[in-house]
Amino acid sequence: MRSEPRGLVFGILFLVCTGARELGEKNVDITGGNSAKAQVSATGSLEPEKGWSNTSTAGVQDYEGDPILRPSGLGEWLLGDPTVLQLGDELHLWGNEVFHGILHFSAKLTDVTNFTKVETSVRLPGANRAYAHFDAARDTVILFYEQYTPPFFRSSRIQWVESKVDGNWKWSAPTLALEPALEWEMIGTKRVGNPFVFFNAQVSKWWMYYSASSVHLDDADIDEPLHLGLAQADDLRGNWTRVTATPLAIKGGEFQNATVLGIGSLKLVKGMNGDGTPRVALCNRVTRHDVTHVTGSTISSLKSVDGGLSWQVETATLITPTPAAEPNTWKESYVYGFDTFVSPSDSNWTLVFYNARNGWRHAMEAIGVSRVRPQSILRI
Ligand SMILES: *[C@@H]1O[C@H](CO)[C@@H](O)[C@H](O)[C@H]1NC(C)=O
Ligand SMILES: *[C@@H]1O[C@H](CO)[C@@H](O)[C@H](O)[C@H]1NC(C)=O
Ligand SMILES: *[C@@H]1O[C@H](CO)[C@@H](O)[C@H](O)[C@H]1NC(C)=O
Ligand SMILES: *[C@@H]1O[C@H](CO)[C@@H](O)[C@H](O)[C@H]1NC(C)=O
Ligand SMILES: *[C@@H]1O[C@H](CO)[C@@H](O)[C@H](O)[C@H]1NC(C)=O
């Protein structure tokens, strides 16, 4: 998801990089294919189409061309927390860097692994963990996201910006949606973030799942979300009020030899949440190995039979980091911020776009995609 640079180092980088922002962006390789591009021009031919390979979890495959998007801005070491939305015959993806805000990419529906940069939607450093919602009534995209307070990134709030879908991408000034207020939203860091927003027809309200507070992972020197909360509103644009005074529970799904430290984020699975029960979601859970104390993050699938107020783990190890026996991959340590999309070429697959980290301390984060059978998400 992120590393949150702290203290003086961040303050300095903040000043340097905001000044250099424009320069950084002109030199981007937004398709994440520095090496792939070099290869194309060197050989004069296109790389063969990449495929999908099975993982150790049945019904889950990794894209062989992962990662599909890497950080490219000056001084950046991460591009994370993708959210995806179909607009016409394109799939749009937003993800954030540390200093350059929330970047906007698009791909043809016929090739949802080949994204190119469209624009920067939120330019402020510390804008991250977005969720994109299409408002058909107004023909706009509303981008809910978490904004850290520069320069130290120790507190955050959820806000939104909005743009017409007319190709110009003129984003409104940010509006506040939710601020940390409860005790369990101010542990470690004072934060609410990772918004996931949808219209809950069962209660005729807009709902927003969010994460709150953080746990510090010493081995990677990063802060990751701790608790899961729920807010609601009569209008998509607010006002948001809390549905529960306590964090939402996620039950079951223990990992072998590892303890769950925190709940990274929760999003409903697109295409699997009709009118009925159960509700189906994915969630990344942050873990620490009981013996080695090495931390990790794994995407699990969940179901809820009480309308989304409490959750039960279905498949604990849906999308995992690569096994310790295969080090030095792009997802060696954590798989975390994600969003889902039904595969446009085969509705029997759900695409999961997520970001991962290639180690612990001083590591890099990039965005990749896996695909999952619905039966592996919700066991029937
Ligand atoms: C991937 O897994 C499926 C289902 O278990 C199997 O039918 C297929 O042969 C496997 N593919 C490869 C390349 O191993
Ligand atoms: C990726 O998409 C871009 C923009 O549509 C296109 O120019 C490029 O040829 C595509 N690359 C591949 C490998 O298909
Ligand atoms: C939202 O809250 C603000 C401040 O409390 C208030 O001024 C405004 O009228 C409220 N809006 C709605 C739609 O309830
Ligand atoms: C868990 O620990 C037991 C006992 O040390 C070991 O046999 C087993 O392989 C471990 N499993 C994993 C997944 O690490
Ligand atoms: C999805 O799977 C079902 C059952 O296996 C099959 O009948 C159907 O043709 C598949 N759909 C697609 C789009 O491949």
pLDDT in tens, 223-260: 999 999 999 999 999 999 999 999 999 999 999 999 99
* Span 9-36, pLDDT tens digits: 444 344 333 333 332 332 222 222 222 3
CA pair distance 356, 366, nearest whole angstrom: 6
Q: In ligand 2, which atom is closest to the CA atom of 47?
A: 13
Whether residue 327 is predicted with pLDDT greater than 90 in this model: the reply is: no
Class of domain 7-377: mainly beta
Atom 10 of ligand 5: nearest residue by CA position: 348
What residues does 341 pair with on adjacent strands? Answer: 351
Q: What are the structure tokens assigned to 371, written together?
A: 């695909």
- Contacts for 303 with CB less than 8 Å, ≥ 6 apart: 278, 279, 280, 281, 311, 312, 314, 378
**End-to-end Cα distance, the chain:** 31
Pocket test for ligand 2, best of 31, 114, 118 (most atoms within 8 A of CB): 114
User: Is there an atom of ligand 4 within 6 Å of 328 CB?
Assistant: no
Length of the chain: 380
User: Is there an atom of ligand 4 within 6 Å of 56 CB?
Assistant: no
pLDDT (average), residues 150-178: 95
CA pair distance 242, 279, nearest whole angstrom: 20
Residue 48 pLDDT level (bands cut at 50, 70, 90): low
Instruction: Report CA(280)–ligand 4 centroid distance (Å).
Output: 30
* Residue 308, number of CB atoms within 10 A of its CB: 26
Ligand nearest to the CA of 347: 5
Q: What are the structure tokens assigned to 119, written together?
A: 């624009």
**Three-class secondary structure of residue 277 per DSSP:** coil
Question: Which residues does a 6 A CB cutoff place in the pocket of ligand 1?
Answer: 54, 58
Between the alpha carbon of residue 78 and those of residues 69, 210, 223, 291, 316, the distances in Å are 10, 22, 14, 29, 26
Instruction: Report CA(233)–ligand 3 centroid distance (Å).
Output: 11
Q: pTM score, two decimals?
A: 0.88
- E strand or H helix at 7: helix 7-19
- The dihedral over CA atoms of 281, 286, 290, 294, expressed in degrees to the nearest 10, equals 140
What pLDDT score does 219 carry?
96
The answer to whether 21 touches 83, Cβ cutoff 8 Å, is no
CA angle 356/358/359 to nearest 5° reads 120
Percent of the chain at pLDDT > 70 equals 87
Instruction: Report CA(17)–ligand 2 centroid distance (Å).
Output: 29
Whether residue 41 is predicted with pLDDT greater than 70 in this model: the reply is: no
pLDDT (average), residues 140-161: 94
Residue 175 pLDDT level (bands cut at 50, 70, 90): very high
Whether residue 7 is predicted with pLDDT greater than 90 in this model: the reply is: no
Instruction: Report CA(184)–ligand 3 centroid distance (Å).
Output: 25
User: Is there an atom of ligand 2 within 6 Å of 273 CB?
Assistant: no
Ligand nearest to the CA of 51: 1
Ligand nearest to the CA of 62: 1
What pLDDT score does 6 carry?
41
Instruction: Report CA(107)–ligand 2 centroid distance (Å).
Output: 9
Q: What is the mean pLDDT of the chain?
A: 88
* Span 109-139, pLDDT tens digits: 999 999 999 999 999 999 999 999 999 999 9
Ligand nearest to the CA of 296: 4
Q: What are the structure tokens assigned to 85, written together?
A: 């939305």
